[in-house]
Amino acid sequence: MRNLIRLGAVVVFGAVLNGTPSWAQECISFNGIVVNRKEGCHFAPRGGGGDVPVPLGLNSKVELADGEDYMLSGRIRILPRIAGSRAPRVFFEVDLAAHTWLASKNRKANPRYPIEGSPAEWQAYEGHRVKFSCRATGRVMQVDGRPQYVIFLKGVQHSENQHR
């Protein structure tokens, strides 16, 4: 028998084996990827990302805000190295069907956000669908020879605002 209990942003999975319940809880790992664990879970998933930000209405499209925390669904993508380039190689490809409020014309054309960290740190997640607890950070960088404001994502275990 399999039970599913949803408590806010925390999902607890349970199964009864030989009369003893076995529980796994979604936890945020050190790099921000949400994983299921039976023991040693110190961080419960927190963050937005699923609903239209208030006070926006139906069909409103926005971009992630600098310094804000999000819980996003999507895939990790690692692009091949380009000789002589310092361009980011690790990206989070956001699921625009799950996060319709991000589905602007520009974001539909490029649903990828650069992720902080080396490709080696993210190799185990390449191509996999994940939940990602992250903080958005904006930077100005050269893209195709022109300065452009780019949103980077960094995995976080908890919100800084949660302890205030």
Condensed to tens digits (0 to 9), the pLDDT of residues 57-75 reads: 666 788 999 999 999 999 9
Q: 155 and 104, same structural domain?
A: yes
Across 16-44, average pLDDT: 60
Count of domains for the chain: 2
Does an H or E element contain 74, and which?
strand 69-78
Give the domain range for residue 145: 69-163
Q: Between residues 54 and 146, which one has the greater pLDDT?
A: 146
Domain assignment present for 48: no
151 plus 102 within the same structural domain: yes
Bond into 147 cis (ω within 30) = no
Identify whether 7 is part of a domain: yes
Residue 87 domain flag: yes
Tell which residue, 163, 145, 151, 164, has the closest CA to residue 70.
151
pLDDT digits (tens, 9 = 90+) for 35-60: 776 665 555 444 454 444 555 566 67
Q: Are residues 98 and 148 in the same domain?
A: yes
